[in-house]
């Protein structure tokens, strides 16, 4: 299955997104949900054109890539910095700095957070309720 990589970033008036490996996929919105829908609309428009990019002619999945500031702000209402600290091992104050954009994490710190979130997600996927 082909992968379509979409990068989502915070802007001064909302969020923007673009496809890393397909020309012509750009989106904007006030929030992440709106941007994701705009991305899907852009891909649907490309598929309807005569010259469809080859990656969209076959089964594909969309992979969203966030800058850390956007990710933290997107999930702020769902996960507290205290819970993120327990999951990632990064202290709350540092997470707050990342969420406001006052500080940018080094690549090692981003990888640590990403790995911890993936591990947590996999744990949730293995849960069954009885």
Q: Which tokens belong to 12?
A: 């001064």
Name the pairing type of β-strands 26-29 and 14-19: antiparallel
In a shared domain, residues 15 and 61: yes
State the pLDDT confidence band at 8, using cuts at 50, 70 and 90.
very high
pLDDT in tens, 45-75: 988 887 888 888 888 999 999 989 889 988 8
In a shared domain, residues 83 and 58: no
In a shared domain, residues 56 and 77: no
pLDDT of residue 35: 95
pLDDT in tens, 76-122: 889 999 999 999 999 999 999 999 989 999 999 999 999 999 999 99
In a shared domain, residues 96 and 121: yes
Question: Domain with 55 in it: what CATH number?
Answer: 3.30.2390
Which residue segment(s) compose the domain that 104 sits in? Answer: 68-125
pTM here is: 0.79
In a shared domain, residues 36 and 50: yes
């Amino acid at each position: 299955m082909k992968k379509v990589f979409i990068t989502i970033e915070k802007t001064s008036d909302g969020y923007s997104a673009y496809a890393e490996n397909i020309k012509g996929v750009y989106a904007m919105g006030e929030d992440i949900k709106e941007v994701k829908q705009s991305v899907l609309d852009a891909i649907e428009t490309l598929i309807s054109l005569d010259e469809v990019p080859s990656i969209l002619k076959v089964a594909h999945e969309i992979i969203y890539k966030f800058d850390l500031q956007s990710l933290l702000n997107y999930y702020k209402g769902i996960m507290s910095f205290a819970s993120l600290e327990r999951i990632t091992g990064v202290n709350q104050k540092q997470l707050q700095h990342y969420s406001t954009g006052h500080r940018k994490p080094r690549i090692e710190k981003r990888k640590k957070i990403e790995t911890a979130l993936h591990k947590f997600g996999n744990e949730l996927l293995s849960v069954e309720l009885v």
